[in-house]
Structure 1
């Protein structure tokens, strides 16, 4: 196990001493929950991400070989697909994604100072040959690779030239970035394969296990993934562009994936991915729920938040300028807060854990 990976796991598991030291016994073994998480969530999500990344690599190669309006549109569509797939699994901060800076290399965000944009612009303007080689690009700045770089290449200023034969360097950069992304996606699926030590220890908490020394620590990590992810969606995704108290401080150009017009689609995918984690993991079986309502209550709150996000499909700047749609964006933050409270208070208590589980530091 990489030192950084183990450290991150330690942070997730023991960031709240009261939670880690909860005195109430867990209601049942967590092993079944971990097996479901691995088989029904982690592997399918990463497999879908890899499939989308390989499709993007193929469509970008076609674009570069035969530039046209149609091939550019196809590459942009493939980008939106892979960005949406990543959004559904990006909050899982465990395993190979935490090694070799893959997390940041796949999507460097937030980038409040525009570091990535400036570096990508400079590489394109200067026709930097280093960014047209996938291996060289992988060793470059994390902000110059991954989804952030690809979004600017495919949708940013001057991207229309990709439909012609005049942007060969820019397309070569896109080709290298897409290839690098597909390689990383393959590393993630491979890292969670059935024959890996990570998969074996993930489902078997033990005193000598570097991931989970007990069922309680495993439950802490899963619950922490959900709560941390929801807090990050609210604070560093929605909060990147929306100031809930002052509309004059909204910042639409700091929103995730705004150039690809994917801000709200990515937020919806974020929420759907965490909902899928809650459902696929069968996490609710780890809680004592005499009335059998807790799981459905949490699912209802997820549905409300996702429905709100999906209803907001106009251009972001227009939504922020319209008082009604802006109010819905503010409500989305509130709806996410409700899910956090359900997990942090109701579920934690039902699972025999201390309440007050918080990862407010963001991602």
Structure 2
């Protein structure tokens, strides 16, 4: 007798629940996770799968050096896209260091690669996973393919470095696949950014705050990646070998890609980004941030030279200063006015103490 009534009550409750307005921060967090972050992680996995195939093809003589380098640059671009999206597992346990080792002020990458190929000439991915993070990732891969010391255009040299190259490709593929699997697990990051409360976030505001912290840290990192080779930390003396991708001359490309990825978190898909959370009275701030992104990306797009080339003349250095200043505007707007408008206390910056 009671069951129909209970069923009716449950259905009524569900109907009311469906009609009640959703928490905009929960909607935004879920939308950014599903429509921005997850597709970017998926592209990263695809690029690293291709990298593993590419290393093998190159070392077996089925692909040339130019193809191997192009596949590396594709993986590096996919990694650069992830910089403003390093939220959750990839930001924990030194995992990001396993993909890219920077800053490298003492050429640890070159020195440790040389030590490793001498000590373990037939190294594989399993052994590499137990080695230093310095030699596990894209920085070591770049060293092998682009540095003059390995000189892999020489067949004997190529044979010496190929086991490590193949191991890095496989290691990066495994790492990327593990991270993506963790995102898609029942209680993984996608779920944690979509349904609240959970073991990571007490509510949706915590998730939005975490997203903004990651953005602010990433934008600060972009300034460091540009400012360090410019000499901003060395009394104005340029340090071109301190750029994060100086061997492949792709540092500025990486910065541009990272900034564009940060913009996707700000805008979202269908306006379900951080921008959409701002109340109408904050439209002047939203317009200001839109303009700051547009101005910085325009400066990147208008430049066709490498960072090293630009450091060699006054005009180039002025352009780099303009780019740096434009990044600083984007960074400060996120760190200051946007955080305040969203009611977020930023606190600790992952770059503090670098």
Partner-residue secondary structure (3-state), 1:88: helix
Structure 1 segment 59-78 matched on structure 2, within 5 A: 59-66=54-61, 71-78=64-71
Structure 1 segment 8-27 matched on structure 2, within 5 A: none
**Does the Cα contact within 8 Å between 2:87 and 2:214 map onto a contact in 1?**
no
Report the CA distance shift for 1:351/1:251 in structure 2 as closer, same or farther (over 3 A). Answer: same
The structure whose Rg is larger is 2
1:333 Cα deviation after fit: 1.6
**Does the Cα contact within 8 Å between 2:109 and 2:143 map onto a contact in 1?**
no
- Deviation digits for residues 282-328 of structure 1 (CA, Å, limit 9, x no counterpart): 11222213364543432221121122223333233321121111111
Instruction: State the TM-score, normalized to the length of structure 2.
Output: 0.85
Per the alignment, residue 10 of structure 2 pairs with none
Structure 1 segment 143-292 matched on structure 2, within 5 A: 143-162=134-153, 164=155, 166-193=157-184, 195-206=186-197, 209-235=198-224, 237-244=225-232, 249-280=237-268, 282-290=273-281, 292=283
Report the CA distance shift for 1:358/1:180 in structure 2 as closer, same or farther (over 3 A). Answer: closer
Report the CA distance shift for 1:317/1:29 in structure 2 as closer, same or farther (over 3 A). Answer: closer
Q: Which has the higher contact order (CA 8 A, sep 6+)?
A: 1
Gaps of 5+ in 2: 1-21
Report the CA distance shift for 1:176/1:355 in structure 2 as closer, same or farther (over 3 A). Answer: closer
Per the alignment, residue 337 of structure 1 pairs with 328
1:361 Cα deviation after fit: 1.5
1:58 Cα deviation after fit: 1.1
1:220 Cα deviation after fit: 1.4
Q: Structure 2: how far apart are the matches of 1:305 and 1:174?
A: 35
Per the alignment, residue 19 of structure 2 pairs with none
RMSD over aligned CA atoms reads 2.5
Per the alignment, residue 34 of structure 2 pairs with 39
Determine which of 70, 80, 83 is the counterpart of 1:87: 80
Which has the larger displacement, 272-281 or 309-318? Answer: 309-318
Per the alignment, residue 18 of structure 2 pairs with none
Gaps of 5+ in 1: 1-26
Per the alignment, residue 21 of structure 1 pairs with none
Q: Structure 2: how far apart are the matches of 1:197 and 1:88?
A: 21
Per the alignment, residue 323 of structure 1 pairs with 314
Report the CA distance shift for 1:245/1:149 in structure 2 as closer, same or farther (over 3 A). Answer: closer
**Does the Cα contact within 8 Å between 2:98 and 2:137 map onto a contact in 1?**
yes
**Does the Cα contact within 8 Å between 1:205 and 1:212 map onto a contact in 2?**
yes
Report the CA distance shift for 1:63/1:223 in structure 2 as closer, same or farther (over 3 A). Answer: same
Partner-residue secondary structure (3-state), 1:30: helix
- Deviation digits for residues 36-56 of structure 1 (CA, Å, limit 9, x no counterpart): 111111210111011111111
**Does the Cα contact within 8 Å between 2:246 and 2:308 map onto a contact in 1?**
no
Partner-residue secondary structure (3-state), 1:170: helix
Report the CA distance shift for 1:81/1:303 in structure 2 as closer, same or farther (over 3 A). Answer: same
